[in-house]
Amino acid sequence: MESYILAIDQGTTGSTALVLNSQGAILSKANQEYPQIYPQPGWVEHNPEEIWKSVLGSVGRALSDARVKPNQIACIGITNQRETTLVWEKSSGDPIYNAIVWQDRRTAKTCASLKKRKLESQFRSKTGLLLDPYFSGTKIAWILDNVPHARSRARSGNLAFGTIDTYLLWRLTAGDEHATDVTNASRTLLMDLKKLQWDKDLCKILGVEQSLLPRIQPSIGLFGRTKGVPGLPDGIPITGIAGDQQSALFGQACFSPGEAKCTYGTGSFLLMNIGPKPVASRSGCLTTVAWQWGSKVVYALEGSAFICGAAVQFLRDGLKMIDKSSQIEDLALQVADTQGVQFVPALTGLGAPHWDPHARGVISGLTRGTTVAHLARATLEGMALQNVELLLAMQKDTKKKLKTLKVDGGAAANNLLMQIQSDYLGVDCVRPKVVETTAAGAAFMAGLGSGLWKSYDDIKAIWQEDRTFSSEISVGARTERLKRWSFAVNQARIHPE
């Protein structure tokens, strides 16, 4: 009987499930969205039960569409929105508060206070991260401090913390497994990047009880087996887990140091494989774990822009400029350039390399002749120019110039955006035939973890190129555009009293 792999990609706006065969071909894909919750400006939450329902819904449809019986699933891989933080009761599995999403900025003051205490260097040296509300550690502390009796319950060992991978693993195994992988653990502000263990001193500084924390495992290997999951038989091994961006790096077959990818999702995330030793960034990038297989660890440099595809959603839902996100390309193609219009999509602050949680979005350069087409094109340019800043910072850290950038994610299907990206980066952008590389990476890890595949070479044989975009503008034009972009970013960082 043919064996198949089920990949679960739990994202910020919805959950996607893929079914792949043993040759790595995708047989089906299903997605189910769920509501976003915005209690206050800068706050973003998810209902954990809605997340779980979206996972079950997408899995059920993917299996049905592929005409695969649940008992034919050989293994499961999980990839997830990272940093999103959840605390639940161990006895019942009930969350004590909504999931606080990675985009959430409510702990900005906490981070600023820790910086004033001169603690950032300690976090930086141990975790590879900056003190920013992006990461999980201060979110955990906020839940413990603001949910009645949460801290005393944590001290009693009654509560469990998890990023979304951990929560899904808990649900998939009926509470038998409370674990995470090194990539997700490396995004919490609590894990020592070299020891790959929770750090007692950092937990103490943030006020996080260690009894809350899941065990840390390699990304590839057995995490647990399904139990009591609607629509799935008991006993399916879960053999691969990684945070979404590391999973995409793996799915792009970036197995050699110096290879890099950019994923265009809700945000955009650029990761570069830097090999078996962590490299400290001096340019505002993060050092993170790319993956671990057995005892072998691979590290990466990362730069992230919080708003990418979400900028198009803003045009659709906030400004009502378009009815569907897919309309952005045709609208932007109606004009040859932006006519000076710029859009810095700092709608939830700025990520790398600026790390300014108080920055706000800026639309500038408007005239009487400005149309929605100019703003649409400016949106695509803003999405691309953020990534230019990230790559320049990485090149400064590694002292190497990137020749090729692999691209993926939903917005990578936008040919105009990819051309703009290549123009302003000055490097080739290579798009694979399968742009769902985040979910594919989880499937590849699960396949390796279960023994369906044996080596990186098996994964390289599966990866296929779709199209390469090469720069079509001069160095001078690129330099001038980056100057105007820098000015606009500085405007976004002016904080009103």
Tokens of 414: 């936008």
Within a domain: 187:
yes
Query: What band does 400 get if pLDDT is binned at 50, 70 and 90?
Result: confident
Within a domain: 212:
yes
Other Cβ atoms within 10 Å of 107 Cβ, number:
24
Tens digits of residue pLDDT in 457-473? 999 988 889 999 999 99
* 101 vs 351, residue with greater confidence: 101
Query: What band does 497 get if pLDDT is binned at 50, 70 and 90?
Result: low
Task: Find the CATH number of the domain harbouring 152.
Answer: 3.30.420.40
What is residue 1's predicted lDDT score, i.e. its pLDDT?
Answer: 62
Within a domain: 482:
no
Tokens of 130: 């900056």
d(CA 55, CA 10): 7
Number of H helices, E strands in the chain: 16, 23
* Range with top average pLDDT, 37-41, 125-129, 212-216, 436-440: 212-216
Query: What band does 495 get if pLDDT is binned at 50, 70 and 90?
Result: low
Within a domain: 386:
no
Within a domain: 128:
yes
Within a domain: 230:
yes
Within a domain: 418:
no
Taking 70 as the threshold, does the pLDDT of residue 496 lie above it?
Answer: no
How far out from the chain centre does Cα 29 lie?
19
Tokens of 107: 């702990």
d(CA 133, CA 429): 31
Is-contact 394 367, C-beta < 8 A? no
Is-contact 422 471, C-beta < 8 A? yes
Range of the domain at 93: 4-245
Tens digits of residue pLDDT in 101-120? 988 989 999 999 999 999 99
Is-contact 58 15, C-beta < 8 A? yes
Q: What are phi and psi of 389, to 5 degrees?
A: -60, -40
Is-contact 396 358, C-beta < 8 A? no
Our count of domains for the chain comes to: 1
Tokens of 90: 């161990």
Q: What value does the mean pLDDT take over residues 379-397?
A: 90
Taking 70 as the threshold, does the pLDDT of residue 366 lie above it?
Answer: yes
Is-contact 343 99, C-beta < 8 A? no
Within a domain: 256:
no
Q: What value does the mean pLDDT take over residues 474-486?
A: 91
Is-contact 438 248, C-beta < 8 A? yes
List CB contacts of 199: < 8 A, sequence separation 6 or more: 126, 127, 190, 191, 192
Q: What are phi and psi of 404, to 5 degrees?
A: -140, 140
d(CA 384, CA 73): 38
Taking 90 as the threshold, does the pLDDT of residue 225 lie above it?
Answer: yes
d(CA 198, CA 191): 4
